[in-house]
Chain A
Amino acid sequence: MNPTLTSPTAPALSEAAFALCLVLLMLAPLAIAGVALVNTGLGRSRSAAQALLGNLLVVSVTAIVFALVGATLTGSLPGAPGGPGHIFQLAGKPWNWLGAGTYFLGGLGIAPPQAQIALIFEFLSVAMAALIPWGSGADRLKLTAGAAIAAVLAAIVFPLAAHWIWTGGWLSQLGVNFSLGAGFLDPGGAASVHVLGGVSALAVIWITGSRKGKFPKEGFSTAMPGHNAVYVVFGCLLALVGWLAFNAAGAVLWLHAPLGALPVTAINTLLSASAAGAATFVVTRIRFGKPDASLCANGWLTGLVASSASAALVTPAAALFIGFIAGVATPLLVEVLELAVSIDDPSGALSVHAFGGLWGLVAAGIFSGSGSQFIAQLVGVAALLGIFLPLVYLLFWVLNRWVPFRADSDGERIGMDLHELGGGAYPEFVIHRDDSYR
C-alpha cells in the first residue's frame, strides 16, 4: 500500500494544498471534455452535433440541479451546527445515510476551504457521471431525455453515493464503526462517478433498447463503428490530463494525502492507463490481426477509470498490474456484451466505466495488504450493485413514462442531428448510404 495512506480525521487544508487543489480542479474538466469527444466519436456522423451538444446540455443541467438540490443532500456544506447528516441507529452503530447541507449553496463563501474545494470536485464529478449514460444512448436518446436523466442523477442518485462515500456517510465510516480498514476508499470517483455512471448506462440501454438494425432477426449483430477515430483517440489524451487532476485532487481531499504523495498518484495514473492501452493493443492485434483504434481507446479509458480507485493507494508495480488486467478484459468484455448478451452500448460504458470502476475498487482492496480493507471495498461494491442499479433503473423507468427516452424511428433513420437540430454536424460532407438496415 502507498505509505501516504489516510487518516480517519480530516485535517484542515493548508494554503498550499488549497491552491494546488484549486488549480487541479481547473484542469479536471479536461476529463469531461475527453469523455465528451469519445462519446461523440464513437457515435454516427449523422448524430455527431446532437451528441456533442447533448454533452454540453448534460453538464449544464447537472450543474444547475446539483446547486439547487444535490449539494444539500450531499452535505458538503454542513447546515445546522452538529448536524452532519441524517443518521439512524442500527445494532448500536450510527448509519449516516443522507447529507444535510445548506440549501442553495448557502454559506459557501464562509465555508472552510476544504468544503469549498470538495464542492467543486463534486460539481465536476456529477457532470462526468451523467455523461456516461448519455454516451451509451447515442444515436437514439433524445436531448430532453438526456437532460432529464442528468437532472435525476444530479438531484438524487449522485448525492446519495457521494455522501455515503466521501462526506461522512456510512461507507466512509466502515473503519470507525466496524473496524474495516480506513472505510470504503474511492479517492478519484471510481465508485461515485464511474460505476454509478456505468449502472446508469445499463439502465438507459435496457430502457431505450438497441439502435435500429443493430441486432437483425438472423445472424450476428451489425457492426456500427464510430464515425471519427480522431475524436476518440484525442479525447483519450485529453482525458489523461483531467484524470491526473481528478486523482491528485481526490487524494488530497478524501485521503488527506500530503502534497509529497501526489507524484506517486500521478505516475500510477499514467502507468495504469498505459498498461491498459498497451494490453488492449496487443489483445486486439492478436484477436483481429490488426489493432482496433476504438477498442484501444476504450482500454486506455478503462485503465484511467481503474486508477481512479487505486492510483493514490497502491505502488507503481500494482498500478501496472491493475491497468494490464483492465486492458486485457476490456475488448473481451465489449465483444461478450455485444455478441452474447445483445447489449448495444456505442460508447462501451459498461466495459469502461462499470467494469473499470469495479475492478479498480476491488484491486485497491487487494493491494492494500489488509483483509479488513478488502472487505470494506467489497461492501462498497455490494452497495453500488445492490442499491444503485435497481434504484436508477426504477427512477429511469418512471422517467421514461414522462419523458420518452427514445427518438421515433424517423429520427433514427435520418439521424439525430437533422431530427433534433435541423442540421448536420458536417454539412459539406457526402453522407454515404447506410447499409446496416436489413
Chain B
Amino acid sequence: MKYAGLLVMPAGFFLAIAALVLFPAPASRAAFVVCGLAVEALGLVVAVRGHMEARGESHS
C-alpha cells in the first residue's frame, strides 16, 4: 500500500506539468495544478496509511 501511494505521487506531478503545457489560461491552469497537488496528497495519505498498517501487523 505504501508503494502504491508513492507511485500515485508522480502522477500528480505530471498532472501539474500537463496543466502548464495544455492550459495557457490562468484559471484552468491553476485548477489543474491544484488537482495535481490533490492527487499527490492522496498518494501521501495512502503511503502513510500503508506505514500505519505495516506497524500494526508487526505488533500482531
The reply to whether A91 and B44 form a contact with Cβ atoms under 8 Å apart is no
Please encode chain A, from 381 to 400, with 1 for each CB lying within 8 Å of some chain B CB and 0 for all others. 11101110110011000000
The number of residues on chain A lying at the interface, defined by a beta carbon within 8 Å of a beta carbon of chain B, is 29
In the bound assembly, the distance between CA atoms of A93 and B22 in angstroms comes to 12
Stretch at the interface among A65-73, A186-194, A227-235, A370-378: A370-378
B9 pairs with A385, CB closer than 8 A: yes
Query: Which of B10, B16, B26, B37 contacts A371 (CB under 8 A)?
Result: B26
**Contact yes or no, B33 A375, CB < 8 A:** yes
B22 closest partner in A (C-beta):
A91
B23-57 CB contact bits vs A (8 Å, 1 = yes)?
A: 00010011001101100100010001001100100
The yes or no answer to A80 lying at the interface (CB within 8 A) is no
Which residues does chain A contribute within 8 Å of B26, judged by CB atoms? Answer: 371-372, 375
- Tell me which of B9, B21, B37 contacts A381 (CB under 8 A): B37
Tally A-B pairs: CB < 8 A. Answer: 72
Find the B residue at minimum CB distance from A91.
B21
Chain B, Cβ-Cβ closest to A216: B59
Q: Is the interface of A mostly helix, strand, loop or mixed?
A: helix
Knowing A389-B9, A393-B6, say if A382 contacts B30 (CB, 8 Å): no
Q: Does A206 lie within 8 Å of B37, measured CB to CB?
A: no
A390 B55 Cβ-Cβ under 8 A:
no
Residues from chain B with a CB closer than 8 A to the CB of A220 are none
Whether a CB of chain B sits under 8 angstroms from the CB of A217 is yes
Does chain B have a CB within 8 A of A215?
yes
Closest to B30 in A: A375
| Chain B, interface SS category | helix
Contact of A341 among B21, B30, B52 (CB under 8 A): B52
Q: Is A178 an interface residue (CB 8 A)?
A: yes
A390 touches B6 (CB 8 A): yes
Residues of B within 8 A of A394 (CB): 6
- Taking CB atoms, residues of chain A closer than 8 Å to B2 are 206
For residue A342, CB closer than 8 A to chain B, the reply is: yes
Once the chains bind, are A385 and B40 in contact (CB under 8 Å)?
yes
Residue of B nearest to A343 (CB): B51
> A385 near B51 (CB under 8 angstroms)?
no
Please tell me if B7 contacts chain A, counting CB pairs below 8 Å.
Answer: yes
The CA-CA distance from A341 to B2 in the complex, in Å, is: 13
Q: Which residues of A contact B36 (CB under 8 A)?
A: 382, 386
Contact of A375 among B6, B7, B29 (CB under 8 A): B29
Is the pair B51, A217 in contact by a Cβ cutoff of 8 Å?
Answer: no
Q: How far is the CB of B47 from chain A (nearest CB, A)?
A: 8
Indicate if the CB atoms of B37 and A378 lie closer than 8 Å: yes
The one of B12, B29, B30, B34 in contact with A386, judged by C-beta atoms closer than 8 angstroms, is B12
Question: Does A110 belong to the interface (CB within 8 Å)?
Answer: no
Q: What chain A residues lie within 8 Å of B37 (beta carbons)?
A: 378, 381-382, 385
CB atoms of A385 and B7 under 8 A apart? no
How many Å from the CB of B39 to the closest CB on chain A? 8
The answer for the CA separation of A343 and B51 in the assembled complex, in Å, is 9
Contact of B16 among A90, A210, A378 (CB under 8 A): A378
CB distance from A54 to the nearest CB of B (A): 24
Q: Please report the C-alpha to C-alpha distance between residue A397 and residue B17 in the assembled complex, in whole angstroms.
A: 27
Q: How far is the CA of A372 from the CA of B14 in the complex (A)?
A: 19
Chain B residues contacting A238 (CB-CB under 8 Å) are: none
- Contact call A178/B13, Cβ cutoff below 8 A: no
**Among all A-B residue pairs, the 4 with the closest Cβ atoms:** A386-B13, A382-B16, A91-B21, A390-B6
Sample of 7 A–B contacts (CB below 8 Å): A206-B51, A374-B30, A385-B44, A386-B14, A386-B40, A389-B9, A390-B7
A386-B9, A386-B36, A389-B9 known; 14 other A-B pairs, CB under 8 Å?
A91-B21, A206-B2, A371-B26, A371-B30, A378-B33, A379-B33, A381-B37, A382-B12, A382-B36, A382-B37, A385-B37, A385-B40, A390-B9, A393-B6
